Amino acid sequence: MRNPGERQTGAAMARTRRVNNYTYPHFPTRHGYMSEKIQQDYIRAAIAQKVLPHEAHRIAQIISLDASNDPARPIQFWQLYSVLGPQRIVAIVRDFYSRVFADEDWFASAFARIGGVEHHVNTQASMWVDVMGGGPAYHGGDFRLNFHHTHNAMEVMTDKGAARWTELMLKTLDSCARHMTDDPRVRPAINTFLTHFMGKYASEFGFENKSLFGDINPPIRRKLNFMNMSTEAIEALSEDELREALSEQGVDTSHYPAKQDLVNKAQML
C-alpha cells in the first residue's frame, strides 16, 4: 500500500502504464542480408568509443533483435523492426523522399535520375527493414549499398549533399513522431542508426561528418560486482573502469592515485 506522500502524478501513472504495455517483439525478427555485419561493425565502434562495454557482443540484451521491455535499456537500431514493423518504417521513408523530390533541382535531380519516388521508397525502406531486424529484405546487402553510392549517388556524397540530406531527414523525423510509437527510446535508436551510417559514408567518401540528428542512445555501463570477480579479472579492468565501478559503490577514488591502488581497494570490497 502506497504511503500518502507517495501519490503518483498523472504523468507518472501514464509512464507506469506505458512500461507495462511494452510487450516486444510486436513484429517477428530475424537477421537479414546486412543486419549481422552492421551490428558487429557498430558494436566494435561503440566499444572503442566506450558507448558499449567491451563484452557487448556477448550480452544477450544487446545482440538480440528484439527490443527490451525494460524502459531503462536503450533500443539498439537492429531491434527497431520488433517495435515499428514494416508500415511505420515505410511511412517514415516515404515522408523523407517526398521532401527530397520537392527540394532544389541540384539535389532532387540526383535521385530522380535513378528512379521515381516509389523506387527510392521501396529500396530505402528495404534497407532499413533489413538492418533493423526485419529479415532478408535488401538483396545484395552491403555490396549493393556501396555500389549504389559509388556509381549512382556520387554527386551528393559530399559535404553539401550530406548537409542537405541531414536537413531533410531531420524535418522528416520531427514530423513523423506519430510513427515512432509512444516508446521514447525509438527516436534515439533511429538517430543512432543514422549517425552510424553517416559516419560510415563520411569515411568512405571523404566528406566531413557534421550530421546531427538529435539524442542518440546513452552509453551502457556494465555493473561490476567485485565480490564475484577473481583477482585476475579485476586486474584486467582498465583504470577508468575501476574508478567508475568504485565510485558507483561510494568510494572516493581520489585517494587511490595508481591503478594498483584501485585494484587493491576493489579486492577489499
DSSP calls for 5-63:
GGPPPHHHHHHHHHHHT----SS--B--SSHHHHHHHHHHHHHHTTSS-TTGGG-HHHH
Residues 179, 250, single domain; the answer is no
The predicted structure's pLDDT at residue 4 = 37
139 lies in the same domain as 34: yes
Mean pLDDT across the stretch 113-128?
95
In a domain, 53, yes or no: yes
Q: Is the pLDDT of residue 52 over 60?
A: yes
Burial classification of residue 227, based on how many CB atoms lie within 10 Å of its CB (0-12 exposed, 13-18 middle, 19 or more buried): exposed
Q: Quick one: pLDDT band at residue 2, thresholds 50, 70, 90?
A: very low
Task: State how many domains the chain has.
Answer: 2
Is 16 a domain residue? no
Share of the chain above pLDDT 70, in %: 90
SS3 content of the chain, % helix, strand, coil (to 5): 65, 0, 35
In order of 111, 123, 140, 250, the CA distances from 148 in angstroms are 11, 11, 11, 53
Pair (142, 231) in one structural domain: no
Decide: 131 and 34 in contact? Cβ < 8 Å: yes
Q: How far apart are CA 128 and CA 193, in angstroms?
A: 9
Closest CA to 95 of 199, 178, 176: 176
Query: Is residue 13 in a domain?
Result: no
138 inside domain: yes
Q: Are residues 177 and 94 in the same domain?
A: yes
pLDDT above 60 for 14:
no
Task: Name the residue range of residue 175's domain.
Answer: 27-222
150 in a structural domain:
yes
Beta bridge mates, 134: 30
Per-residue confidence band for 18, with pLDDT thresholds at 50, 70 and 90: very low
Whether residues 181 and 264 share a domain: the answer is no
15: in domain: no
Same domain, 161 and 103: yes
Residue 48, phi then psi, degrees to nearest 5? -60, -35
Q: Is residue 128 pLDDT above 70, yes or no?
A: yes
Mean of per-residue pLDDT scores for the chain? 88
Of residues 142 and 120, more confidence is placed in 120
Is residue 117 within 8 Å of residue 99, measured between CB atoms?
A: no
At 102, which amino acid appears? A
| 8 Å CB contact between 219 and 51 | yes
User: Does 235 lie in the same domain as 167?
Assistant: no
Residue type, 231: T
Question: Do 164 and 247 belong to one domain?
Answer: no
Q: Answer whether residue 10 shows pLDDT above 70.
A: no
Does one domain contain both 64 and 138?
A: yes
pLDDT at 29 exceeding the cut of 60: yes
Residue 259 lies in a domain: yes
Together in a domain, 156 and 260: no
pLDDT band at 144 (very low <50, low <70, confident <90, very high): confident
Question: What pLDDT, on the 0 to 100 scale, is given for residue 16?
Answer: 42
pLDDT bin (cut points 50, 70, 90) of residue 151 is low
pLDDT number for residue 71: 94
Model confidence at 143: pLDDT above 70:
no
Q: What is the pLDDT of residues 83-104, one digit of tens each?
A: 999 999 999 999 999 999 999 9
**Residues 29, 133 contacting (CB under 8 angstroms):** yes
Write down the pLDDT at residue 237.
Answer: 82
Chain segment 162-195, per-residue pLDDT in tens:
999 999 999 999 999 999 999 999 999 999 999 9
pLDDT the model gives residue 120:
95
CATH at 184 = 1.10.490.10
If asked whether residues 216 and 246 sit together in one domain, one would say no
Q: How far is CA 149 from the centre of its chain?
A: 22
User: Does some domain include residue 64?
Assistant: yes
Give pTM, 2 decimals: 0.78
Question: Do 253 and 215 fall within a single domain?
Answer: no
